[in-house]
Amino acid sequence: MNLIVDVGNSSVKAAVFQESRVLRFYSFLVENFFEKFQEIKKDYPQIAFSMLSSVVKDTSELEKILEKETKLYILNQNTKLPFKNNYASPQTLGKDRLALVAAGSLNFQNENVLIIDAGTCITFDFKNSANEYLGGAISPGLQMRLKGLQYFTSKLPLVTLGENAPLIGDSTQNSILSGVLNGVSAELDGIIDRYKTDYKYLTVILTGGDTQILSKRVKNSIFANPNFLLEGLNYILEFNKTQ
């Protein structure tokens, strides 16, 4: 049984897996890690392995906790991956992107896959049918665009994101929502269409915090899975068990 831990700047997402099957998901604050880990181990005493992925530089305390009761794997530049990484600067590639590509490799090994992660940034990652990761793109996310309009201008307000945005904004607020939401939707559709021109058989996956809002607006067929990243981390762990 595996415990997968993905540490962000302030919160932690975790999941318990039995091989490739997820048993339970968790979300909690970083400062509550010790208490939550004890709770998880109490509910699932069979946990023997763990995978830690973190954007925080110092995870020594978390590592000590996990190492004490599990065989710990830490995702870093030396971790063996279940796909061929053709990225020109692998040392700069985000761990979240590695995990997403791994999930694409697990679920669509012999297919061309474009994974779109709609979070703070919108990342595009492409894996071909030969199980090779070629790279992708990074673009500002919805909240970043809304905050950028307010920060870099003297009069535009910070607008709260909503699911509805008119094509023609009849107020400053609606104009901002129209520009951001319709702009991102058109951006996604346009990029997907360009990939489909070069790769006829393409599976498109949309994941991340803004999945719910964007999946309703993007015209291209998309398979949305909010837990895709944790599945990818678990696949990397399972792959490394056999190495």
Q: Is residue 190 annotated as involved in ligand binding?
A: no
Q: Is residue 92 annotated as involved in ligand binding?
A: no
189 is a catalytic site residue: no
Q: Is residue 170 annotated as involved in ligand binding?
A: no
Q: Is residue 183 annotated as involved in ligand binding?
A: no
Q: Is residue 127 annotated as involved in ligand binding?
A: no
Residue pair 210/142 in contact (Cβ under 8 Å)? The answer is yes
Q: Is residue 120 annotated as involved in ligand binding?
A: yes
Q: Is residue 9 annotated as involved in ligand binding?
A: yes
Outline where 153-221 has alpha helix (H).
172-177, 183-198, 211-215
Give the side-chain half-sphere CA count within 13 A for 100. 28
Q: What H or E segment, with its residue span, contains residue 229?
A: helix 228-241
**Of the listed 58, 96, 170, 198, which one is catalytic?**
96
Q: Is residue 80 annotated as involved in ligand binding?
A: no
Alpha-carbon gap, residue 128 to 66, rounded angstroms = 35
Residue pair 114/243 in contact (Cβ under 8 Å)? The answer is no
C-alpha pair distances (Å), 181 with each of 59, 121, 137, 140: 36, 14, 19, 12
Q: Is residue 7 annotated as involved in ligand binding?
A: yes
Can you say how many angstroms the Cα of residue 84 is from the centroid of all Cα atoms in its chain?
A: 19
Q: Is residue 148 annotated as involved in ligand binding?
A: no
- Strand blocks (E) in the chain: 2-7, 11-18, 21-29, 49-54, 71-74, 84-85, 112-118, 121-127, 132-140, 202-207, 223-224
Q: Is residue 174 annotated as involved in ligand binding?
A: no
Q: Is residue 13 annotated as involved in ligand binding?
A: yes
Alpha-carbon gap, residue 51 to 62, rounded angstroms = 11
What lies within 8 Å, CB to CB, of 188 at 6+ separation is 116, 122, 206, 214, 218, 220
Q: Is residue 193 annotated as involved in ligand binding?
A: no
Residues of each annotated binding site: 6-13, 87, 94-97, 117, 120, 172
Q: Which residues are annotated as a binding site for ATP?
A: 6-13, 120
Which residues are part of the catalytic machinery?
Answer: 96
Annotated binding site for K(+): 117
Annotated binding residues for substrate, as ranges? 87, 94-97, 172
